[in-house]
Structure 1
């Protein structure tokens, strides 16, 4: 018989408070939370003295590259890195090969995850200009949502037919998550820089090519359409201060029809970092100015921005070492997402309670995920122990990503994730993984 687990003396962070207490885990579930739970013989006890216990990070945007792009990453490798970083649930994007634009192809990804994923998982169905009928078959209780690329997509996933777009927005009650960058603006800007520099455009011009204007034009148009049709819209990876003013903070998250996300890299880096980091911080949308970075923090703290995510999107070092036009955008982030945010907690930028709200509580609320995202009795024990006084320096030899590099290489973080529980199972324990147990497909209360 599997032993129940008792976590003693933890600094429990949940629903805007931090308190000292014990947590009892039994059969995947949080059975009891109390200031003092007696340790009995049939309990495995973990003494968490001095450590934070938080609900696992629910990352609402990752690219784990499987199927079809497995030279970059797989669901197995990246979910392993994710649990080492305290991410217990991820929602993965449809732009794999083939793209998840039919129900059959979507279910193929769930089959791979059931076999290989260390973390809990869901996937998004990808909308195109011609798959509305398939899109409408998506089961809201079993699938995270719909993903639309309104800019910067691979394959045929750019939805640029305005009539179709309006039809999608009008036809589904599911959350529509969007990547917003205006393609015409980007094409025009790219052409101007090609005329000036040829193939070898200096990377510092990336945020000028993929400009504030390109982002704002696209996101404001999507919001206008959502208001017109009553669609439930979620805008991914805001990168400009200007866009944050399109969102409201005067009503609770549960009542919002239009929500937004910010990613770790847009909170951490600015255009000053291109010189040192080069293509390793080339993302779409681009990392922009210091003023944009500060504006994103401000909007996150005052609740115009609802969630933090990673947009984890690995490429090989060989791919990344190409010149500007050929180097792909995206980078790996899941292994150090929480510790990066905890660095900002240490600096006094954000409180740990607010960080947990944005990484765990709010994604669960926003996507209506059943029984996850909180440390509550009766909820799944997706929880993470953190030693805030155990520094770590990121280097190639301690990375778990298949691509083998990180934009954080050389960075020393003050905190270390020591234990990650997924559905009550201790999947990660001070560098050691339980490879026998896999995560679960999450369900939605809709």
Structure 2
């Protein structure tokens, strides 16, 4: 199958330029001003922008074991509708992916059901170092450690275990950083006053700036001591951004950071209207924190934008605070929301592509993806920056059927998504064939 996209504006590697682009089977074969090859399909890209497919380095697609919330099929289907062509899923499923056999089970499920390309993190615990060290860096993106409790019981809180993991693996270690003792003390304080039904507006004071900074600074200290490659997921505070560097290229950084779309979008003021729908771990915090995250994103202390896509059922989200799970679905909307920030003058198209496409590929050393380059896999997304729409229940593809963004008006729309050269999303229509492939990594 050959596909030719004509007269499009390509956003890639810090430049925007007009071009044609030829896809031959699963590969980008030509990027030239004018291409006249015989092809099977021609798409007129006039007035549209072509980006590399988004690589979301942190999602929770809930399979196996939590499929009442979502599954690899449903959530990867929603991903391609949002221009996300590759995802890296986390190990806190049921059972937790903490052995090679359980990790292989997830890959087997995805090989049958993923609309997008997939990678699965190996989970670390207080007692599975032997299994962690068996992980093949060629076909697994990294090791995930929860240094604060979240969905699933995977808390790693033994300092000796942590040091052994950091010292013994050359793979990237990705961490969820919140200090457990601080959170427990804060939770007890509010429970003493309110019982189980703590107002959600206090969430950012329970899972506080102190809890985040204490944990992330310790993890960074350990990475420096051991020489480990450390990636800190979902920064939520301005204070933490000071822990990261912007004076060296990403390829040379051993300690890196990610921010999620929700921490760039909401503040604690939004608990008033959104309630538990924006209850995440780490918590959405103050306007000062949001401003600090934006500043660090734009000056390159923060390297990657992701979603931490984490669906729960509507019923689960209606529970009292102490029984209400944290997390929300976002993977269908991350690129359109960031394009809205472009339209509002907060970030350039080139920087969006750098943080959502190029940098995840560089950081995780993903082979032949994340760029619009000849010889690379044809994971591509076409966007129309002048096609307004409103996030509403009827256009959600998430299995859980709700979004914290409902009612938000967006001015840009994903029109076409290609996965491995296949047109999988075409102006609202999904190709129900599944073309996702296992991500491979350069070692």
Aligned to 1:20: 18
Write out the 4+ residue segments of structure 1 that deviate beyond 6 Å after TM superposition. Answer: none
**How much has 1:360 moved relative to structure 2?**
0.1
Partner in structure 2 of residue 187 of structure 1: 184
- Matched with 2:339 is 342
| 3-state secondary structure, aligned to 1:361 | helix
Report the alpha carbon displacement of residue 39 of structure 1 after superposing the two structures with TM. Answer: 4.8
Contact (CA 8 Å) 2:93, 2:152: kept in 1 or not? no
Instruction: Determine helix, strand or coil for the equivalent of 2:239.
Output: helix
The separation in 1 between residues aligned to 2:197 and 2:226, in whole angstroms, is: 43
Distance in 2 separating the partners of 1:228 and 1:153: 26
Provide closer, same or farther for how the CA distance between residues 440 and 327 of structure 1 changes in structure 2, counting only shifts above 3 A.
same
TM-score (norm 2): 0.99
1:28-65 deviation per Cα after TM superposition (whole angstroms, max 9, x unaligned)? 0000001111153x341000100010001000000000
CA distance in 2, matches of 1:373, 1:156: 33
Contact 1:128/1:156 (8 A) holds in 2: no
Question: Are the aligned partners of 2:119 and 2:140 in contact in 1 as well (CA < 8 Å)?
Answer: yes
From 121, 124, 128, give the equivalent of 1:124: 121
Structure-1 residue corresponding to 2:32: 34
Counterpart of 2:231 (choices 226, 229, 234) is 234
SS at match of 1:372: coil
* TM superposition shift of 1:156: 4.0
- Structure 1, unaligned stretches of length 5 or more? none
Aligned length: 443
Counterpart selection for 1:353 from 350, 358, 372: 350
User: Is 2:260 the partner of 1:263?
Assistant: yes
User: Which runs of no fewer than 5 residues in structure 2 stay unpaired?
Assistant: none
Q: Partners of 2:22 and 2:400 in 1: how far apart?
A: 37
C-alpha separation between the residues in 2 aligned to 1:155 and 1:86?
A: 28
Q: How is 1:172-183 mapped onto 2 (pairs within 5 angstroms)?
A: 172-183=169-180
Deviations 1:367-425 (A, max 9, x none): 00000000000000000000110011011111000000001000010011000000000
Q: Structure 1 residues 168 and 16, CA, compared in 2 at 3 Å: closer, same or farther?
A: same
> What is the alpha-carbon root mean square deviation over aligned residues?
0.7
Q: 1:10 aligns with which of 3, 8, 16?
A: 8
TM-score by length of 1: 0.99
The answer on 1:108 being equivalent to 2:105 is yes
2:162 is the counterpart of 1:171? no
Q: Distance in 2 between matches of 1:153 and 1:81?
A: 24
Kept after mapping to 2: 8 A contact 1:39/1:45? no
Pick from 271, 278, 283 the counterpart of residue 275 of structure 2: 278
What secondary structure is seen at the aligned counterpart in 1 of 2:325?
coil
Residues 295-341 of structure 1: per-residue CA shift (max 9 Å, x gap): 00000000000000000000000000011111100000001100000
Distance 1:306 1:54 in 2: 18
C-alpha distance in 2, partners of 1:180/1:427? Answer: 36
Query: Deviation at 1:153?
Result: 3.3
Within 2, Cα distance between the matches of 1:377 and 1:397? 38
Q: CA deviation at 1:155?
A: 4.4
Q: Distance in 2 between matches of 1:93 and 1:239?
A: 19
Alignment partner for residue 45 of structure 1, among 21, 42, 46?
42
Aligned to 1:372: 369
